[in-house]
Amino acid sequence: QVQVVESGGGSVQAGGSLRLSCTASGYGYSRYCMGWFRQAPGKEREGVASIDNYDNPTYGDSVKGRFTVSKDSAKNTLYLQMDNLKPEDTATYYCATRTWYDLRCRARTAEFDVFGQGTQVTVSS
């Protein structure tokens, strides 16, 4: 059974930084593609970033230039470095992977089927 577990959320003032981590376990295709998503109360889940097995990242428009996704394949761990945080970044952040192979790796909800329990990020103004 494939599982992902996030950590590293918390509360920070606007302009601050946080680093999220996600560890994957179980058989799957996490080494090919993993992603970060977020969901704020009353809003749909939004793709934040993804990274493929060649370390090619993609980012949502709202976080480009502020967030950096990376991974340590040896540790099966995904990271999200979040800098210059804004109040609108407040959300529950989810790590994701999938149980099938696909050459594409994009932060789109429909392209992932394993999500973690989420970690809360709160940014105050």
| Mean pLDDT value of segment 69-88 | 94
Task: Tell me the C-alpha distance between 78 and 80, whole Å.
Answer: 7
Q: Tell me: the pLDDT tens digits for 13-46? A: 999 999 999 999 886 666 789 999 999 999 999 9
State the CB neighbour count (10 A cutoff) for residue 17: 11
Q: Tell me: the pLDDT tens digits for 82-102? A: 999 999 999 999 999 998 888
pLDDT at 124 over 90: yes
